[in-house]
Amino acid sequence: MTISTNKSKTLFHLQTDHTSYIIQELENGELGQVYYGPKIHQKESYDNLMTREIHDATPSLSEGMQDFQPELIKQEYASFGKGDYRYPAFPIEQPNGSRITEFKLQNFAIKEGKSRLKDLPSTFDDTNDDAQTLVLNLKDQITDLNLDLNYTVFPHQDVIVRSSTFINSTAADYKINTAYSSQLDLPDANYDLIQFSGNWARERHLYRSPLRPGLQSVSSLRAASSHQQNPFIMLARPETDEQSGAAFGFNLVYSGNFKDSVEVDQFDASRVMVGINPDEFAWNLQSGTSFQTPEAIMSFTEDGMNQLSQQMGAFYTDHLVAPKFAKQERPILINNWEATYFDFDEKKLMSIVNKAHALGVEMFVLDDGWFGKRNDDTTSLGDWFVDKDKFPDGLGHFSQQVHDLGMKFGLWFEPEMISCKSKLHEDHPDWMVGDPNAQLIPSRHQFVLDMAKPEVVDYLYEKISQIMSDTKLDYIKWDMNRNITDTFSRYLKPEQQAEFAHRYMLGVYRLYDQLTKAFPEVLFESCASGGGRFDLGMMYYAPQAWTSDDTDAVERIKIQYGTSYGYPLSMMGAHVSAVPNDQNGRITSLKTRGAVAFFGDLGYELDITKISEEELKQTKEQIDFYKQYRNLFQFGKFYRIDSPFEEDGNITSWEVVSDDKSLAIVGRYQLLNHPSVAYQRQYFVGLDPNKQYTVNDSSETFYGDELMNAGYFVKMAQVDGNYSSDFHSDLLIAKEI
């Protein structure tokens, strides 16, 4: 039994293969949290875990219930105004202005499986993988509003998915001021908060800090999950490392404003909340309507952060990503952005296509600049018709030539945007986000379309689907190159303005939903100036994302390493680009650029008509190599070994291992080469201790335990062709014999 109750139906025990999550109805009818952690035995009750002592200077629920002090009780989904001074999960404003509610358990249902949400990206259980769903139905004693707390247990990946549904079947109208997706009250605060933060071209760097009293949070108010903060966080015990120790992972299936907060209270309990950012959010819960929060993901392991990443990643592959693509090998692509920027025509592109084809590249992606009059970034967003100067015979003709070579064809769009210099703006100046009475705020010379307005979504669907059909498109790179600051919708009513950021996302999701349903064969890649919307909401529709605009191999080590905590390699677009690198001018060898980009969905993003014969040869070898091991690189078990975020950080290593442990590839990267260094060894992880392996087809064989515990000797870096001995890389391939 994955979800069970006790005889009196007051206790709900959710069990995965290795974890337990327990909820209990309290004596006032509200819900308390009993436990979340390693799996424990099923019992009728856990009285000891619910023991109370009376504390001074904090309120009791009533005179008759002196020891019922809400602030000392681990709450399942905390209301406002009932004696718990910590931050609430959901204040609801009533017609008289009060926000005090008393939601009590009414009934519950346990169902097999997990269905998708209607208007939001969500997890699912199409394969009947033993998922079970519990719905706890609560009713407010004051307003008669209903609240469903939804839990789905995915036993084999040790994941629990939570969301809330507010249902107004009353005659009155209400306003939700905050609606978190999940809450977890942990009994102590001896954890490190691990977050993934950065900015454009420096996404998802790891920051680890001990919890401290008070509120700490990561969040976004950009109407996108953002480069700056990612919704994925972990709480790990101070001693937890990659290979051992307890860690919780939290994520949100959402791409807009979010907030993950941890509040350490006066009794050293930690309240974790994950959901839509309550700032810049309110929702009118009118009579007869309901509001569904996005889904939050929770996972726990005792076996270290690699295990946590692996189980969460496996969960997304099985229960979040479009099943058609989830385990399908992703094509090796060439993208013309860094090769040509806006300066191209059909002839120039065809010379890249032909050369790429000869190297074994499988898809050509035409990036920005093929539409309207877009010869730079000041114009034409919204004008989704082909530029006849660049493609005199139309885009269909160009894509036909790509297809004729047996290659796939991909195309860049930035659907949510509008340039002032565009036909779309001439026709619909009022479709832009922003207050027309105020000065509008440009970013990269562009403005945002009001995706909360259904007509805008319909227009985009029509334009984009037309081009997809005309070009028989195989792949879309859906970009989003600016965030929203002047939050105002001319379409929405004054009282709906605080709904805008969420309604914007619902519009984006509707467009994604319609396009992916109409073109189920097309692979979508999401992008937001690189990794500015690298989140699970996007991954539901677009199984992979452009990880970062920074294609420098050295920078990418940190970006990909950080990203790997929350997202599997198949989600990460990773390209080899030219040197000196366009973002930072660094020169690294083609070997190192390849060795970093292999760990993801490989692509090339440089003008291959301009590289030397020697480099062409090497590129072909890289492509052949990647094809041989592609399944392992995209879908193997990924282990982080040596972290670039450690103080020295000179060596990074990571590894992919096949499920049967017969094959493993370590990527090892050294930033600077130092003289007279000690002998260096690479320690493998995740091998079978009893299996025998060769390394890089060596004549000597090694037991797995030897490679993991004694390590493998790594030669000192040497000058690499024309490149220096800095930024050196090694790939170590262990094969079972």
User: Distance (Å, rounded) from C-alpha 611 to C-alpha 607?
Assistant: 7
Shortest separation between residue 550's beta carbon and ligand GLA, angstroms = 10
Shortest separation between residue 531's beta carbon and ligand GLA, angstroms = 8
Shortest separation between residue 342's beta carbon and ligand GLA, angstroms = 8
Shortest separation between residue 366's beta carbon and ligand GLA, angstroms = 10
The reply to whether 549 belongs to the active site is: yes
* x/- letters, 364..383, toward ligand GLA (CB under 6 A): ---xx---------------
Based on the shown chain and the rule CB under 6 A, indicate whether residue 603 belongs to the binding site for ligand GLA.
no
For ligand GLA, the closer of residues 316 and 371 by Cβ is 371
The reply to whether 260 belongs to the active site is: no
- Residue 216 corresponds to which tokens in the numbers above? 């700490």
For ligand GLA, the closer of residues 24 and 335 by Cβ is 335
For ligand GLA, the closer of residues 30 and 368 by Cβ is 368
For ligand GLA, the closer of residues 313 and 530 by Cβ is 530
Going from the C-alpha of 355 to that of each of 337, 619, 626, 693, the distances in angstroms are 16, 11, 18, 37
Q: Is 385 helix (H, G, I), strand (E, B) or coil?
A: coil
Residue nearest to ligand GLA (CB): 368
Output the CA angle 506-510-513, nearest 5 degrees: 135
Interface of this chain with ligand GLA, residues 494 to 533, rule: CB under 6 A:
527, 529-530
Burial of 288 (0-12, 13-18, 19+ CB in 10 A): exposed
For ligand GLA, the closer of residues 316 and 337 by Cβ is 337
User: Distance (Å, rounded) from C-alpha 213 to C-alpha 529?
Assistant: 36
ω into residue 494 within 30 of 0, thus cis? no
Interface of this chain with ligand GLA, residues 127 to 166, rule: CB under 6 A:
none
Name which position in 254, 283, 412, 475 contacts ligand GLA (CB under 6 A): 412
CB atoms within 10 A of CB 120: 20
Give the closest residue to 539 by CA, choosing from 167, 253, 186, 238: 253
Shortest separation between residue 405's beta carbon and ligand GLA, angstroms = 23
- Residue 437 corresponds to which tokens in the numbers above? 């009475």
Shortest separation between residue 584's beta carbon and ligand GLA, angstroms = 15
Based on the shown chain and the rule CB under 6 A, indicate whether residue 555 belongs to the binding site for ligand GLA.
no
* x/- letters, 334..353, toward ligand GLA (CB under 6 A): ---x----------------
* Per-residue exposure over 596-615, b if at least 16 CB sit within 10 Å of its own CB, e if not: bbbbbbbbbbbbbeebeeeb
Of 479, 550, 552, 642, which one is the catalytic site residue?
Answer: 479
Name which position in 36, 447, 546, 654 contacts ligand GLA (CB under 6 A): 546
Burial of 66 (0-12, 13-18, 19+ CB in 10 A): exposed
Q: Is 325 helix (H, G, I), strand (E, B) or coil?
A: helix
- Residue 66 corresponds to which tokens in the numbers above? 């002196």
Q: Is 193 helix (H, G, I), strand (E, B) or coil?
A: strand
For ligand GLA, the closer of residues 247 and 417 by Cβ is 417
For ligand GLA, the closer of residues 412 and 712 by Cβ is 412
For ligand GLA, the closer of residues 481 and 516 by Cβ is 481
For ligand GLA, the closer of residues 181 and 380 by Cβ is 380
Output the CA angle 555-561-564, nearest 5 degrees: 135
User: Distance (Å, rounded) from C-alpha 183 to C-alpha 266?
Assistant: 18
- Residue 732 corresponds to which tokens in the numbers above? 């170590």
HEC string for 226-280:
CCCECCCEEEECCCCCCCCECEEEEEECCCCCEEEEEEECCCCCEEEEEEECCCC
Based on the shown chain and the rule CB under 6 A, indicate whether residue 549 belongs to the binding site for ligand GLA.
yes
Total residues at the site for ligand GLA (CB under 6 A)?
11
Shortest separation between residue 413's beta carbon and ligand GLA, angstroms = 10
Shortest separation between residue 600's beta carbon and ligand GLA, angstroms = 15
The dihedral over CA atoms of 567, 573, 576, 578, expressed in degrees to the nearest 10, equals -110
Backbone angles phi, psi at 728, to 5 degrees: -90, 150
Going from the C-alpha of 623 to that of each of 526, 545, 603, the distances in angstroms are 23, 20, 9
Contact assessment for residue 441 and residue 486, using Cβ atoms and an 8 Å cutoff: yes
Shortest separation between residue 223's beta carbon and ligand GLA, angstroms = 17
Q: At what angle do helices 500-518 and 454-471 cross, to 10 degrees?
A: 30
Shortest separation between residue 385's beta carbon and ligand GLA, angstroms = 18
User: Distance (Å, rounded) from C-alpha 184 to C-alpha 540?
Assistant: 25
For ligand GLA, the closer of residues 337 and 727 by Cβ is 337
For ligand GLA, the closer of residues 294 and 415 by Cβ is 415
Strand 174-176 with 475-478, pairing:
unpaired
**Alpha carbon distance, N-terminus to C-terminus of the chain:** 41
User: Distance (Å, rounded) from C-alpha 649 to C-alpha 717?
Assistant: 16
* Per-residue exposure over 455-471, b if at least 16 CB sit within 10 Å of its own CB, e if not: ebbebbbebbeebbeeb
Interface of this chain with ligand GLA, residues 468 to 487, rule: CB under 6 A:
479, 481
Shortest separation between residue 525's beta carbon and ligand GLA, angstroms = 10
Place of tokens 């020295």: 648
For ligand GLA, the closer of residues 149 and 559 by Cβ is 559
Q: Residue 587: CB partners within 8 Å, gap ≥ 6?
A: 579, 580, 581, 723, 724
User: Distance (Å, rounded) from C-alpha 349 to C-alpha 75?
Assistant: 60
Shortest separation between residue 352's beta carbon and ligand GLA, angstroms = 16
Q: Residue 180: CB partners within 8 Å, gap ≥ 6?
A: 77, 89, 90, 164, 273, 274, 275, 276, 278, 293, 296
For ligand GLA, the closer of residues 310 and 335 by Cβ is 335
**How far, rounded to the nearest angstrom, does the alpha carbon of residue 370 sit from its chain's CA centroid?**
29
Shortest separation between residue 213's beta carbon and ligand GLA, angstroms = 40
Burial of 440 (0-12, 13-18, 19+ CB in 10 A): middle
Of 367, 549, 601, 726, which one is the catalytic site residue?
Answer: 549
| Residues found near ligand GLA in the complex (CB under 6 A) | 337, 367-368, 412, 479, 481, 527, 529-530, 546, 549
Residues annotated as catalytic (active site), given as ranges? 479, 549
